Chains A and B, each alone.
Chain A
Amino acid sequence: MEINKLERYWLIAVGITLGAFTAATILAVTVFGIRLPAPVERIDPQRLEQTIFANPGVRKIADNRYEAVIVARSWAFDAGPEAGNPAVLRFPRGSQVTFYVTSKDVMHGFQIEKHTLNLELVPGQIARATANFNRPGTYHIICNHYCGAGHQVMYGVIIVE
Chain B
Amino acid sequence: MASVTYPQTFETPATPTTLKLAKREQAMIGAHIIAALVALMFGIFMGPFQTFHRSPTFVQYFPTIPVFTFYYQAVTAHGVMNALFFTTFFIIGFCYFVVERSLQRPIKSTPMGWAAFASMALGLVFMLFVLLTMPQQSAVLYTFYPPMIAPALFYIGLVLLALGSWLASANIFLTYRDWKREHPNERVPLAVFAILVNFIVWCVATIGVALEIVFMLLPASLGILRVTDPQLARTLFWFFGHPLVYFWLLPAYVSWYTMLPRQAGGKLFSEPLARVAFIMFVVFSVPVGVHHQFSDPGISASSKGIQTLLTLIVSIPSFMTAFNVGAALENAARNRGAKTLFDWPFKQKWNDPVVAAQLSGMLLFIAGGFSGLINASAQLNATIHNTSWVPAHFHQTLGGGVTLTYIGILYWLLPAIRGRALFSKKAALAQVFTWLIGMTLFGLAMGEAGLQGVPRRALTSQAPYLTPAGAFWMDVTAVSGVILLISSILLYVNIIGTLFFSRQPMPAADVPIETVSGDRTSPLWFERWGIWLGILGILLLISYGPVIAEVLDFQEGWNILRFMPTSNAPMP
Contact = CB atoms under 8 A, between A and B. Distances in A.
Asked if A and B bind, the verdict is yes
A122 B297 contact: yes
B383 A118 contact: yes
Contacts of B521: 1-2
Contact of A152 (B298, B458, B522): B458
A150 B387 contact: no
A78 interface: no
A113 interface: yes
A50 to B, nearest CB: 14
A120 B462 contact: no
Contacts of B305: 25-26, 29
A149 interface: yes
A38 interface: yes
Contacts of A37: 294-297, 301
A11 interface: yes
Contact of B148 (A3, A28, A106): A106
A124 B562 contact: yes
A106 B230 CA distance: 9
A2 B148 CA distance: 54
Nearest to B519: A1
A97 B308 CA distance: 28
Interface stretch (B101-109, B176-184, B316-324): B316-324
B296 A7 contact: no
A3 B298 contact: no
B298 A11 contact: no
A83 B547 CA distance: 37
Contacts of B556: 42
Contacts of B456: 144
Say what secondary structure dominates the interface of chain B.
Answer: loop
A149 B572 contact: yes
B569 A147 contact: yes
Interface string A119-161: 1111111111000000000001011111111111101000000
Q: Which of B136, B301, B319, B386 has the most CB of A within 10 A?
A: B386
Interface size class of A (residues with CB under 8 A): 35 or more
Interface in B420-477: 453, 455-460, 462-465, 467
Nearest to B551: A39
B110 interface: no
Interface string B125-158: 0000000000010010100010110000000000
Contacts of B304: 36
Interface size class of B (residues with CB under 8 A): 35 or more
Nearest to B526: A1
Contact of B455 (A3, A119, A142): A142
A38 to B, nearest CB: 5
A22 B455 CA distance: 29
B59 to A, nearest CB: 12
Given A18-B312, A22-B312, A142-B453, A3 B383 contact: no
Nearest to B559: A42
B453 A125 contact: no
A25 B309 contact: yes
Contacts of A146: 72, 75, 141, 457-458
Nearest to A18: B312
A64 interface: no
Contacts of B523: 1
A51 interface: no
Given A39-B550, A119-B297, A150 B572 contact: yes
B563 A155 contact: no
Contacts of A120: 234, 293, 295-297, 386
B175 interface: no
Nearest to A4: B270
B549 to A, nearest CB: 11
A135 B467 CA distance: 18
Interface stretch (B2-10, B214-222, B374-382): B374-382
Contact of B301 (A38, A109, A151): A38
A34 B323 contact: no
Interface in B281-325: 293-301, 304-305, 308-309, 312-313, 315-316, 319-320, 323-324
B272 interface: yes
Given A148-B569, A149-B572, A36 B294 contact: yes
A75 B312 CA distance: 37
Contacts of B312: 18, 21-22, 25
Nearest to A13: B319
B566 interface: yes
A75 B572 CA distance: 8
Contact of A39 (B297, B378, B385, B460): B297
Nearest to B387: A144
Interface string A13-34: 0110010011001101100001
Contacts of B320: 7, 10-11, 14
B151 to A, nearest CB: 15
Contacts of A121: 297
Contacts of A25: 305, 308-309, 312, 377-378
Given A25-B309, A38-B301, A124-B562, A150 B571 contact: yes
Given A21-B312, A29-B301, A111 B562 contact: no
A67 interface: no
A23 B467 CA distance: 37
A95 interface: no
A71 to B, nearest CB: 14
Contact of B572 (A26, A44, A119, A153): A153
Given A29-B301, A144-B458, A34 B293 contact: no
Contacts of B72: 146, 148-149, 151
A105 B136 CA distance: 17
A116 B465 contact: no
Nearest to B73: A149
A107 interface: yes
B465 A39 contact: no
Interface of A: 1-4, 6-7, 10-11, 14-15, 18, 21-22, 25-26, 28-29, 34-40, 42, 44-46, 74-75, 86, 105-107, 109, 111, 113-114, 116-128, 140, 142-153, 155
Interface of B: 70, 72, 75, 136, 139, 141, 145, 147-148, 229-231, 234, 269-270, 272-273, 293-301, 304-305, 308-309, 312-313, 315-316, 319-320, 323-324, 327, 373, 377-379, 382-383, 385-387, 453, 455-460, 462-465, 467, 521-523, 550, 553, 556, 562-564, 566, 568-572
9 contacts: A18-B316, A21-B373, A75-B569, A106-B148, A118-B385, A120-B296, A123-B230, A124-B229, A146-B72
The 9 closest A-B pairs by CB, nearest first: A144-B455, A144-B386, A148-B569, A113-B453, A127-B297, A150-B572, A140-B465, A125-B297, A152-B459
